[in-house]
Amino acid sequence: MPDFIPRNPDFERSVRESWTTQSFLRLLGAEITAVAPGAVETRLPWRADLCQQHGYFHAGVIATLADVTGGYSAYSMLPAGWSMLSTEFKVNLISPAIGECLVARGQLLKAGRTLFPARVDVFALKDGNEKLVAAMQMTLMGLEDRPELEAR
């Protein structure tokens, strides 16, 4: 893995502040638990309204947590004031997402000029044990100005 040198010395504060501006993350109750250059960890406690038909975490909840975890892994490597945008993500749902909470760990693969590929692992925590429930591979895009409507 390359060594990621942040371009924004205040990257951790920027990540944590940006996180609070996404209303959907509040609705879900998702939290950031760790921030490093090119790598972020998040978690999401189970709630009865986040489920599919069997009471497990919904695939859409898992994808959302993975998406933002990869997104902020990339955001941590942007210059101050830039914006980050998901352009595509792919998730494999590997095992049923049963447990007290989800834990997601993102790892940037490259801090490019424009594109930031990343991987994310999502675990379910149950009785103190983590089990891999999903794997994401994705592309983020960094934008110098505020994300214009048609920046893509």
Residues lying near its own copies in the complex (CB under 8 A): 18, 21-24, 26-27, 48-54, 58-61, 63-65, 67-68, 85-96, 98, 109-110, 112-115, 117, 119, 132, 135-137, 139, 141, 146-147, 149-152
Q: Please report how close the Cβ of residue 152 comes to its own copies at its closest, in angstroms.
A: 4
- Indicate the DSSP class of residue 98: -
Q: Please report how close the Cβ of residue 109 comes to its own copies at its closest, in angstroms.
A: 6
Radius of gyration of the chain (CA): 15
Q: Please report how close the Cβ of residue 96 comes to its own copies at its closest, in angstroms.
A: 5
Q: Please report how close the Cβ of residue 69 comes to its own copies at its closest, in angstroms.
A: 11
Which distant-in-sequence residues (6+ apart) come within 8 Å of 48 by Cβ? 55
Q: Please report how close the Cβ of residue 76 comes to its own copies at its closest, in angstroms.
A: 16
Instruction: Name the residue nearer to its own copies (CB basis): 33 or 87.
Output: 87
- Indicate the DSSP class of residue 76: T
CA 102/CA 49 separation, integer angstroms? 15
Instruction: Name the residue nearer to its own copies (CB basis): 37 or 104.
Output: 104
Instruction: Name the residue nearer to its own copies (CB basis): 3 or 152.
Output: 152
Instruction: Name the residue nearer to its own copies (CB basis): 41 or 89.
Output: 89
Cβ pair 78, 7 in contact under 8 A:
yes
Residue 125 has a CB neighbour count (10 Å cut-off) of: 16
Which distant-in-sequence residues (6+ apart) come within 8 Å of 58 by Cβ? 50, 51, 52
